[in-house]
Amino acid sequence: MGVFESAQGMFDKGASVVKGAVSGVAVENQAFMRGFIRLCSDGWLQGWHERNGGNVTYRMTNAEVDAARPFFYDNPSSWVAMGVQAGNLSGAFFVTTGAGRYLRNVELDPSYNVGIVEINRTGDAWRLVWGLRDGGRPTSEFASHFMNHSVRVEATGGACRVLYHAHPESVIALTKVMPLDARTITRALWKAMTECVILFPAGVGVTGTMVPGGIDLARATSELMKTYEAVIWANHGLFCSGSDFDSAFGLMHAIQKAALIHGQALMMNGGSAEFANTISDDDLRAIARTYNLAVNEAFLD
């Protein structure tokens, strides 16, 4: 989308002036937004985003906010209370996918399907400052994202910037046939292929079946995200964090692939998990030592 099309979209929303539309790099063409768009497109191509399924948020750097600010609406939306509060995110800016909007369309029209929201100084409300034209709102799971950004900022010393939720089918299938227990599911994923313990040495968290977009799911996930980089939502999907778009997408991709391998191996083995060849706990420990990983010993025998 070009600068003038973006400008027209802003006027459609009711902004009286598009600041900076004749100078600088349009938001759609800035590096952080290109990365965001690519993540959405890659997830769609993997088949993880049927209809309007899935959502993404990205916590912007100060430099990125400064570069995008000339294109912000002169008249942002009113503040919208979230029902949750996080002081460590006060004044932050997030890129977010839109509620009811399709990730497959993000690349075609970023300023319609994606928005930038500002968090207020008390860390309990947002307002739209760019994008999500024609009355759009942040993803219905924005409260989950916001709470978990707060947790992951603390857990990573501010390194985590991306949260990504998708519906990878093999991960969902695992939750239908395995105990909803983090240790049990993590061990199956670790033992699917040798790289998994390297990619998520803490394991993965698991919730029960909960209402999508609900505050209970947000709170349950945020507790697990104190320990894990990824949480499986039973009968729903997967929620991953990362320092950048590649790491968040890569974690999602690896967990989905491991779940697929485990499921295929079960089918090839008549439903039994007693495989002729497997990755032992001693193998997992050897991998952890080689790569200097703080593997979750509670998940090893």
Residues 144 and 213 sit within 8 Å (Cβ to Cβ): yes
141 in catalytic set: yes
Helix axes 169-177, 245-268, angle to 10 degrees: 50
Beta bridge partners of 18: 73
Task: Determine phi and psi for 97, rounding to 5 degrees.
Answer: -70, 160
Q: How far apart are CA 218 and CA 220, in angstroms?
A: 6
Residue from 118, 141, 195, 229 carrying the catalytic annotation: 141
Residue of 23, 24, 16, 92 whose CA lies nearest to 57: 92
Helix axes 245-268, 182-190, angle to 10 degrees: 90
Across the beta sheet with 80-81, the strand order is 80-81, 125-131, 114-119, 93-97, 55-59, 162-166, 237-242, 230-233, 205-207
Secondary structure class of 122 (helix, strand, coil): coil
Q: How far apart are CA 219 and CA 142, in angstroms?
A: 12
Residues labelled as active-site residues: 141
